[in-house]
Every structure is written in structure tokens, then in C-alpha cells.
Amino acid sequence: MERTARARGGGPDGGLCAGRVVAVTGAGRGLGRAHALAYAAEGARVVVNDLGVGLDGSPAADSPAAQVVREIEAAGGTAVAHGGDIATGAGAASLVDTALDAFGRLDTLVNNAGFLRDRMLVNLADDDWDAVLRVHLTGHFLPLRQAAAYWRAEAKAGRTVSARVVNTSSGAGLAGSVGQGNYSAAKAGILGLTLVAAAELARYGVQVNAVAPAARTRMTEATFAATMAAPPGGFDAMAPENVSPLVVWLGSGAAGAGVTGRVFEAEGGRITVMEGWRPGPSVDKAGRWTPAAVGGAVHDLLTRTEPSRPVYGA
């Protein structure tokens, strides 16, 4: 574990996150890096987590977390690098411990770490299924559980808690994505976890939301290379930095009471509140259906529903 804490402040005085301590997982590159830099620019002291692995989860030689720490420090901010595996209990515990040891507190957790092992379902190996769910879904759950235990203890000790969690889902979790059954399932699971955490942790002063970003990162550049290339000039709609302002606001004290249990899509300059599963057309026979009768009723209901959102790649 690398620690390079500094005594000075976390960035500009009066920033949106001045005084807050923020941990961002998977922050060595892409969206996580953009989030870490944006939080630091708004005055936060940042724990930059990154295991330093390749896109498929294999070990890499460099330390991207330390590089991001240096970027933050060069801009006058404060950060500490954490290289632990947050998809393990020990790694998640050390993430929170790093924040407490370096800065004395933790206010915001941004769960962002992930990687891909894409296969069509009939070719998807057990190990590839397990690995992607482990990093994305378990890698959200374990840091969340560890941080929640800290915040609960603070609340029970009578100290005011104004904590925030921002989870990272995906359009694949909202609509599915061909060739990404493991990734889509993990990202959909994160949405369910977000709703439960928001309900359970509200009593302790914790607000939990999720974002489903669309941006150019290592995980998306191969899939969307033709449509996501940076333009020669003007607004780059696919830059990961476009997503960070929403993530920073959700992780700040400015996201007041009631902003919890929500899912937001973010792409370019567009922010959308996703409304999730809600009851649609319904029919009640007031008795037991026969299979044949069910078919007619279901066909009728489907004529009165909104079309399903297309699966990516279908």
C-alpha cells in the first residue's frame, strides 16, 4: 500500500467538497481518474485506489494510482494512493483504513473499479463470469459494507454523519449488452445494491446513488471506436471528464436530503434520471388463470406498454 499524505489542504478554499475525504476505486485511469481529479479540484482530500491491472484484470507493471496522486499534488491538492484489491475483505478494509490513517475520516465513497471479459453466452467460461461479477459487484459491496460500518459507528457515537456513496452501473446494466452477459448482470446487480443501501443506510446519514456513464475509456474504446473518437475541435461528448461533475455533486454535501436511491445516466452534457422498474398495465382476473387465458391477457397487456429499451448490440 502506498501512502503519500500531505498536511496541506485538498484544493481551492471554498470548493464544493472542501473538508471532505473521498475514496475513489479504480481511479488510476479513465472515469475514476477523472473523478479523483475533479474531487481534488473541489477541495476534497482523495484516496486514489487502483490495483494497477490490465483491461482483463492481469497484472500491470506501473502504478497508475501513484501517477494520479502526483497529478493531484502538482495541482495543489492532497491525495494518497491505495493499491489494494477492493474485491477482497482485506482490501476493502484497508481502503477505509487508509482514509482514516491519512486524513482522520471518510465522507464519500465512489465505487468505480471494473474490467471486461466479453464473450457470447455460449462461449462464456465460468471463470470469466466469476471474475467480472467479483470485481464489479463484489467490488462494490465490500467497500460499501466497510464504509457503512464506519459511518454507522460514527452515528451511534453521536457524531453527525453526512456521507455519500456513488456507485457505477452502466447502460449495459439498464438495458443489457450483447456479448456482455457477465458485465450486464453485474451492473444490473449494482442497481439493486444501490436501492437497498440507500434504504438501509439513510438512518445513519448516508445517501447512496448510482450513475450509468457513457464515456471513452479503456473498457469502451474497442467497442465504440468508430463513434467515440475525440473530435478535432469543439466539445468532446465522450470525454470521461464530462461525467465527473455529476459524480462530484452527488458525493458532496450539496446533494441534500432526498437525493438518494436514484440512478442517473450521464453522457456528454446530458443527465437523465432513470425511473427503473415501475408497474405498468395490469389485469386482475380475481381468480386462477388457465395457461391459455394467460396468453391472451399478456398479449393484450403488451399492446398497452412502452416498448422495451433496445439491448446494446442487438
Look at residue 2 in the predicted model and tell me its pLDDT: 41
| Active-site pick, 94, 169, 170, 244 | 170
On whether residue 173 sits in a domain, the answer given is: yes
Q: What is the pLDDT of residue 103?
A: 98
Asked, for residue 29, whether it belongs to a domain, the answer is yes
Contacts of 124 (CB under 8 A, 6+ apart): 181, 182
Q: Is 184 a catalytic site residue?
A: no
Q: Which domain holds residue 209?
A: 21-274
Q: What is the pLDDT of residues 29-74, one digit of tens each?
A: 999 999 999 999 999 999 999 997 655 545 555 689 999 999 999 9
Produce one character per residue of 221-242: b if its CB has 16 or more CB atoms within 10 Å, e if not. Answer: eebeeeebeeeeeeebbbebeb
Q: What pTM value is reported for the model?
A: 0.89
Residue 183 in domain: yes
- Backbone φ and ψ for 76, nearest 5 degrees, come out as 95, 10
| Whether residue 285 lies in the annotated active site | no
Query: Which of these ranges, 42-56, 75-89, 168-182, 259-273, has the smallest mean pLDDT?
Result: 42-56
Please give the tally of structural domains in the chain: 1
* Per-residue pLDDT tens digits for 205-214: 999 999 999 9
| Domain at 58, CATH number | 3.40.50.720
CA angle 151, 152, 153 (to 5 degrees): 90
Catalytic residue of the set 150, 169, 184, 187: 187
- The residue that leads in pLDDT, 241 or 12, is 241
Of 4, 14, 168, residue with least CA distance to 71: 4
Structural domain includes residue 101:
yes
Angstrom distance (rounded) from CA 242 to CA 290: 52
Give the tens place of pLDDT for each residue, 108-131.
999 999 988 989 999 999 999 999
pLDDT at 107 over 80: yes
Length of the chain: 314
Decide if 39 is catalytic. no
Residue 308 lies in a domain: no
**Does a structural domain hold residue 305?**
no
Is residue 261 situated within a structural domain? yes
What cell numbers appear for 313 in the block?
448490440
Give the active site residue among 94, 183, 244, 312. 183
- Cβ distance 272 to 265 under 8 Å? yes
Kindly state whether residue 301 falls inside one of the protein's structural domains: no
